[in-house]
Amino acid sequence: MARLEGKTAVITGAADGIGHAIAEAMAREGAHVFLGDIADKAGEDFAAALRAAGHDADYVHCDVAQEADIARLIDSAVKKTRRLDIMVNNAAIAIGGMPVHEMTDEQWHRLIAVNLTSVFRGCKFALPYMIAQKSGSIINMASAQGHIGLDGWTAYAGAKGAVMAMTRQMAVEFGPMNIRVNSISPGTINTPMNDKLIKEIGGNLAKTWVKMHPLGRIGEPSEVAEAAVYLASDAAGFTTGTDLRVDGGLTAAPRYVPELL
Ligand SMILES: NC(=O)c1ccc[n+]([C@@H]2O[C@H](COP(=O)([O-])OP(=O)(O)OC[C@H]3O[C@@H](n4cnc5c(N)ncnc54)[C@H](O)[C@@H]3O)[C@@H](O)[C@H]2O)c1
């Protein structure tokens, strides 16, 4: 039996990258998936492809920096399926690669809006439905960067650290209502976000970064999606307040990398 049969899942940032893989995996496991993104053509095409493959999928335009968009995405899922079982707060942007004193207030506020306030709002609008239903699983996308330091990524790391702290807090607060709240911290994953970053930082440094993952490679979006399916499923029924690292060991130990010396 499919692991998410009969469940309704909302996923933000679902048109590409990790969110795309999560939506695909959850649909394959029987969930009705509601995809939110700002890339409307890609999102619509993806939802149509999922439906053509026999899955239940809808696309709703959702800029996670806009409060009303997040509310509309979640409301539309509940209106159509009469339930909300899984909320994946995944969408985020990478603004970084500069020291703190060179980051503008505008860049800071943009990053916090898309990467952190969005998570607050995704939870805020999902929770009333889950409380009424007396069940639910919220999955917030954090990052290895919330665990370790990397030059130039203070704001991004700060937002991801806050995502993990909020996840623990909500797990405590809503556990008694049978709502589980967990986060996932990916290491470097093969997505458009990283294509752009790897091009920006350049060949050798990029290769060194890959080697810093003890497994010797970067991860695939499908590997993060598997973690999300697990956390969303009844198999994780006693798992809440945790951060699941899907990072090839990146945060487990410092690595000796000759190229860095
Ligand atoms: N790729 C990695 O190595 C990596 C590592 C750690 C954590 N993460 C986290 O995983 C999540 C997904 O990252 P990714 O690599 O798949 O990113 P990505 O840039 O490849 O894809 C992000 C998706 O979000 C959408 N998006 C961007 N801004 C949006 C907005 N304002 N509203 C709605 N959708 C928006 C994009 O259109 C795209 O479809 C993020 O939370 C990211 O911080 C990624």
Sign of CA dihedral 11, 16, 22, 25: positive
**pLDDT band for position 206 (cuts 50, 70, 90):** confident
CA of 165 to the centre of ligand 1 (A): 20
pLDDT of residue 232: 98
Please name the residues in contact with 54: beta carbons below 8 A apart, sequence gap of 6 or more: none
Cβ 64 under 6 angstroms from ligand 1:
yes
Higher per-residue confidence, 182 vs 97: 182
Mean pLDDT of all residues in 212-232: 96
CA atoms within 13 A on the CB side of 57: 28
Query: Which of 191, 210, 215, 251 is the best mutation target for the ligand 1 pocket, counting ligand atoms within 8 Å of the beta carbon and taking the most?
Result: 191
The fraction of the chain above a pLDDT of 70, given in percent, is 97
What pLDDT, on a 0 to 100 scale, did the predictor assign at position 257? 61
Determine the straight-line distance between the first and last CA of the chain, rounded to whole angstroms.
Answer: 52
Which amino acid residue places its CA nearest to atom 43 of ligand 1? 92
Question: Residue 76: how many CB atoms within 10 A of its CB?
Answer: 16
Please, which residues bridge with residue 86 across strands?
A: 9, 137
Gap between the Cα atoms of 199 and 58, Å rounded: 33
Ligand 1 center from residue 153 Cα (angstroms) = 15
Residue of 193, 209, 247 to mutate, ligand 1, most atoms within 8 A of C-beta:
193
- What average pLDDT does this structure show over 87-115? 97
pLDDT of residue 123: 99
The domain made up of 8-189+220-248 is a member of CATH 3.40.50.720: yes
Q: Indicate if the pLDDT at residue 40 is higher than 60.
A: yes
| Other Cβ atoms within 10 Å of 208 Cβ, number | 15
**In whole angstroms, how large is the CA radius of gyration of the chain?**
18
189-193, 197-201, 232-236, 238-242: which range is least confident on average?
197-201
Segment 18-23 shows an average pLDDT of 98
| 118 within ligand 1 shell (Cβ under 6 A) | no
Confidence of residue 260 (pLDDT cuts 50, 70, 90): low
Q: Establish whether residue 92 lines the binding site of ligand 1, counting it when its CB lies within 6 angstroms of any ligand atom.
A: yes
pLDDT digits (tens, 9 = 90+) for 141-158: 999 999 998 889 999 999
175 touches 134 (CB < 8 A): no
Question: Please, which pLDDT band fits residue 204 given cuts at 50, 70 and 90?
Answer: confident
- Return the domain boundaries, the chain: 8-189+220-248
Catalytic residue numbers read: 156
Tokens 């797990």 correspond to what residue? 171
In this structure, which residue's CA is closest to atom 25 in ligand 1? Answer: 13
Tell me what the pLDDT averaged over the chain comes to. Answer: 95
93 lines ligand 1 (CB under 6 A): yes
How far are the Cα atoms of 103, 170, 247 from residue 162, in angstroms, in the given order? 19, 12, 19
